[in-house]
Structure formats: C-alpha cells, structure tokens
A and B are shown apart, each in its own frame.
Chain A
Amino acid sequence: MRAVVTVIGKDTVGILAKVSAACAKYNNNILEVTQSILQDLFVMIMMIDISNCTIPFTEFADEMAALGEEMGLQVRAMHEDIFNSMHRI
C-alpha cells in the first residue's frame, strides 16, 4: 500500500528533514521525492510505502497535518488510490 505526502507552503530550512523523520518514525519507507517551486510556493511530493506503518494510516494522516501546522505549511498524507482513480482509466 502506498500513499502520497504533499507539502505546500513557504520554503524554509529543514522541511524535507522533518517530513522524512516523521515518515521514518512510523516505519514508512520513502519511495520517491519530487520538489519544485510553483508561483513562489514550495511544493514537495513524496510517494511512501505504508504497508508496514506502525500506526493506523488515519492517525498518520493526522500526525502529518499537525506537523504541517507546526511548520506553517500544508502537509497532507493521502492514499494513492484517490489520485489513481481520478486520473487513470
């Protein structure tokens, strides 16, 4: 099972480190990372493997949202199927 973590907001030092640390804390392996600047906004997208996540994924999603608030960014963890179903036939 895989999930997509998106981080959107103002670029600051340590975003990647903090988000990766949170993923590692719950045993989620990072499979891929892309990042770019879109209209002054920092956008990072991570594909993570949640098969061995140590807490229920809904709780992990809450943790990521809370981490985002802490850093003044939007951080979302969403099951990859939402994107697959919407954009792939």
Chain B
Amino acid sequence: MINTKDILETIRMIQDENLDIRTITMGISLLDCCDSDIGRACNKIYDKITAYAKNLVKTGEDIEKEYGIPIINKRIAVTPIAMVLAACEKKDPVRFAITLEKAAQACGVNFVGGYSALVHKGFSPGDRELIESIPEALSVTDHVCSSVNVGSTKSGINMDAVALMGQIIRKTAELTADRDCIGCAKLVVFCNAPEDNPFMAGAFHGAGEPDCVINVGVSGPGVVRAALAKAGDCDLTQVADIIKKTAFKITRMGQLVAREASRRLGVPFGIVDLSLAPTPAVGDSVAHILEEMGLECCGAHGTTAALALLNDAVKKGGVMASSHVGGLSGAFIPVTEDAGMIEAARKGCLSIEKLEAMTAVCSVGLDMINIPGDTPAEVIAAIIADEAAIGMVNSKTTAVRLIPAIGKKVGEELSFGGLLGGGPVMPLNTWSPARFIARGGRIPAPMQSLKN
C-alpha cells in the first residue's frame, strides 16, 4: 500500500495549498484550413476545431474527478491566424476572431489562443492586417487571445513592429475601456515566443507542431511556499533542494494528467510546461514564495536573486518528472494575478524597473501590469523594446502584457475578475523615448559568443 503520509501529503497539497493543473491546452493546426475565400476558410476552421476539441472539456472534467486533482482551464491554441489570413484574397481578419470565439463557445473552453502574427524579421502578407485588427478583434470577443512575436535571438528585434504594438496596445485598451480595458489582458507581445506554450494569452500552435497535440501547464506556488515554511530557517542550498523536490511532485501530476488526456483524446502528448503559475487567491502566490525565503516584501533588493534561485530549481526538479518539457517553463510574475505582487505594488515596494530586472531571470516578462491611462504609445513601445532586448540577448522568452488604464491615474485600480485578478495602476518613467521609437528599422541579432 502507498504510504499514509504520502497520501495525506497529496491531499493537503490539493485541499490546503491550491495545487492544481492550470490548463490542458489542445494545439490544433489550421494550415489545412487556408482558403482564398475567407468565408470558406472560417467554415473549415470552425469545423476542424469543434471536431477535434469536442471532447476536450468533458475529458478534462473526467480526469479531474477520477484523480481528484482540479484542472482549472481547458484551452485551445491554433496556428497563428496571420498565416491562414495570408491565403485569403479579402483580408478581413476579425471574421477569424469571431469564428474562433464561436468555436470556443461551442467546445466550452475557457480561452482560444492564436490570433497571432510572427513578425520578428518583417511583415509577410496578412501580418500587418492582422495586427491592425487586434483591438477590434479583442473588443468583440471574450475568449480569443492574441500574441505577436516581435523579436528573436536569431533575427533581432523588428522595431517597426514594436512601434506598431505600442499603438495597438493603447487602442485595445481604449476600445475596451468600459470593461476595465480587459482587451489588453488578452494581448501579449513576445520575443522568442515558444511554439508549444499552453498558457494564455500567448498560446499558439507553431508551424513545426503536429496536426493536433496536448500540452499541459501545471501550477502550485502555494505548495512550494508551504514546503519552505515547514523547513524553517535552512540555508539557500537546502531551499533550492526543497523547491526541486516539490517541483518534481507537482510536475509528476502534470505528466500523469497529460498522458491520460492524450490517451483518452487519441491525440499525441506534446509537453508539460513547468511554470509556477499564481492566481489572485490567497495562498497561491509566487511573491509569497520569495517572501517566505526571507524578503520583507516582494520587490525589495534581493528579489531578483531569490527569483533566479526559484526559477532554476523549479526547472531542475520538473525536468526529471516529465518525458517532454517545453512551453515557458519557469516562475510567472503576472502582477494582477498574484496576491503578493498586488500587495507589493500597492505598498509601492514593487516597481516596474524591478519587475524588468526580475524578467531577466524568470519565465516570462512584464506581465499583467496596469499602467497610467495617459501613457503615450511610444512609451509602451519602448517598454516592449527593453523587454524584447532582455529576451534577445539572453536567448530566452520575454513578453509584455501591459494594460493602459484608460481614464485612470497611478494608485487607482483595475479589476478584471477570475484568474486575471486586478490591481493598482503602477507609475512609469515619463521621459520620452519618442525619437528612438520613431526611427523604426531592426535591431540586429546579437553576438552569441564573447558573452559578458
């Protein structure tokens, strides 16, 4: 028989420490849905998604019940729509967004990602039209998520795309200003975007992926924090060991769920994403792990070092627990989705500059940050450029998901509800980067040797 202590540990993790599987994401290729007639392309997309994903939610719920582990979201990621749009004679991309929305509702999934364009080296047919349609697409849909890749280590940063995304983010916020600018919570700008990421808003199904695939994202910051709390005042070598062991256990659960979902749906298993994904719920915070390590408040000096340790240990523990690891894999630091980060931002301890430094050592980037509503597009673009530069130079994924709080100032709050949470508008450096952004062009790809 399995050890009683082990059984109770698992139950405690699920019941008291918010252990869950954050998402089962089905990746579906839409390359075979390309058609010169946009109406026909939309029909093919709807039919393919609803055929492939019709049992996704039910299967997720069955696994949830059978194994007793909550599976919070069931999602779909599709081929970047700009690729499908390229074949259409009439470029009206919002019709694709509406089709994705209908398909998401028909399947009962929480989100569908892939209203995306990959423009790190330049715009191909359809890319610009798709990007320009993002504000409207996100304002007329609820479940569709959008992402744009503007840079990569191999190709540099497309600064024309960066400048454009500054405007697009502002416009998206303006069009959804009546709903706390929620459109921007569904829009992320990447450098080095992964093709198999199961997490939103940045999930899309890359061109190198199979026709259909199951990717799973785990969670569990509360479990890590509880394990550290139990250990008391041990040194940081031991802290890293505890995190590794805990991450191993969390990931094994993800692997089990991924394998089961893949078997039951008859779809190949892709990857388990090892990310520690927080939620606004108390006891499910990455910031609180850093505070458990000994920081008075997340954002204090020492935060970057603590996060680097955490991020690395999560990967080391998780890698052995899963046969295939991918996606973003690391600790997430979405401000409005993390109770500890929200608190730290309210206190003024956590600044955007500190968050930028943190993104150099952790999973994603400047994520879910509310910024003043009067922030000019070029400042948003410059934030994207800074963040993309960190990703490009360090050969890692970085991303920006900022929410300009239209009509609001520093200290006022936005509330999105659910997993997206809410939080205060954070102050920005207001000196102008306008001339730099207006130059456009490309930042060349960086040296990969002589690293210093």
Residues of A within 8 A of B (CB): 4, 6, 8, 31-32, 34, 36, 38, 43, 45, 47, 57-58, 61-62, 74, 76-87
- The verdict on B438 contacting chain A, using a C-beta distance below 8 Å, is no
- Measured CA separation A49–B192 after assembly (Å): 48
- The verdict on B11 contacting chain A, using a C-beta distance below 8 Å, is yes
| Between-chain CB contacts (< 8 Å), 10 pairs | A6-B11, A34-B4, A45-B7, A47-B1, A74-B15, A81-B67, A81-B256, A82-B67, A82-B253, A87-B2
- Chain A residues within an 8 Å CB radius of B66: 57-58, 61, 78-79
Task: Kindly provide the distance from the CB of A40 to the nearest chain B CB, expressed in whole angstroms.
Answer: 15
Task: Determine whether the beta carbon of A83 is less than 8 Å from that of B6.
Answer: yes
Task: Determine whether the beta carbon of B2 is less than 8 Å from that of A43.
Answer: no
Task: Kindly provide the distance from the CB of B320 to the nearest chain A CB, expressed in whole angstroms.
Answer: 8
Q: How many residues of B contact A (CB 8 A)?
A: 22
- Chain B residues within an 8 Å CB radius of A86: 6, 10, 249, 252-253
Interface SS of A by simple majority:
strand
- The verdict on B68 contacting chain A, using a C-beta distance below 8 Å, is yes
Given that A85-B252, A85-B255, A86-B6 are contacting pairs, would A78 and B68 also be in contact in the complex, using a CB cutoff of 8 Å?
A: yes
- Chain B residues within an 8 Å CB radius of A82: 10, 67-69, 253, 256
- The verdict on B8 contacting chain A, using a C-beta distance below 8 Å, is yes
Task: Determine whether the beta carbon of B7 is less than 8 Å from that of A79.
Answer: no
Task: Determine whether the beta carbon of B4 is less than 8 Å from that of A76.
Answer: no
- Chain A residues within an 8 Å CB radius of B11: 6, 8, 76
- Chain A residues within an 8 Å CB radius of B3: 87
Task: Kindly provide the distance from the CB of A68 to the nearest chain B CB, expressed in whole angstroms.
Answer: 12
- Measured CA separation A84–B7 after assembly (Å): 9
Task: Kindly provide the distance from the CB of A3 to the nearest chain B CB, expressed in whole angstroms.
Answer: 9
- Chain A residues within an 8 Å CB radius of B256: 81-82, 85
Given that A4-B2, A36-B4 are contacting pairs, would A83 and B65 also be in contact in the complex, using a CB cutoff of 8 Å?
A: no
Interface SS of B by simple majority:
helix
- Measured CA separation A77–B9 after assembly (Å): 15
**Count of A-B contacts with CB under 8 A?**
65
Given that A6-B11, A86-B249 are contacting pairs, would A78 and B67 also be in contact in the complex, using a CB cutoff of 8 Å?
A: yes
Task: Determine whether the beta carbon of A79 is less than 8 Å from that of B67.
Answer: yes
- Measured CA separation A88–B186 after assembly (Å): 39
Task: Determine whether the beta carbon of B1 is less than 8 Å from that of A32.
Answer: yes
- The verdict on B62 contacting chain A, using a C-beta distance below 8 Å, is yes
- Measured CA separation A61–B68 after assembly (Å): 9
Known: A36-B4, A58-B65. 10 other contacts (CB 8 A): A6-B7, A62-B65, A74-B15, A76-B68, A78-B68, A79-B68, A82-B10, A82-B256, A87-B3, A87-B10
- Measured CA separation A29–B375 after assembly (Å): 66
- Chain B residues within an 8 Å CB radius of A6: 7-8, 11
* B253 CB contact (under 8 Å) in A4, A36, A61, A85: A85
- Chain B residues within an 8 Å CB radius of A87: 2-3, 6, 9-10, 249
- Measured CA separation A4–B6 after assembly (Å): 12
CB-defined interface of B45-89 with A at 8 Å, one 1/0 digit per residue? 000000000000000001001111100000000000000000000
- Measured CA separation A1–B6 after assembly (Å): 19
- Measured CA separation A81–B256 after assembly (Å): 8
- Chain A residues within an 8 Å CB radius of B69: 82
Task: Determine whether the beta carbon of B252 is less than 8 Å from that of A45.
Answer: no
Task: Kindly provide the distance from the CB of A35 to the nearest chain B CB, expressed in whole angstroms.
Answer: 9
- Chain A residues within an 8 Å CB radius of B253: 82, 85-86
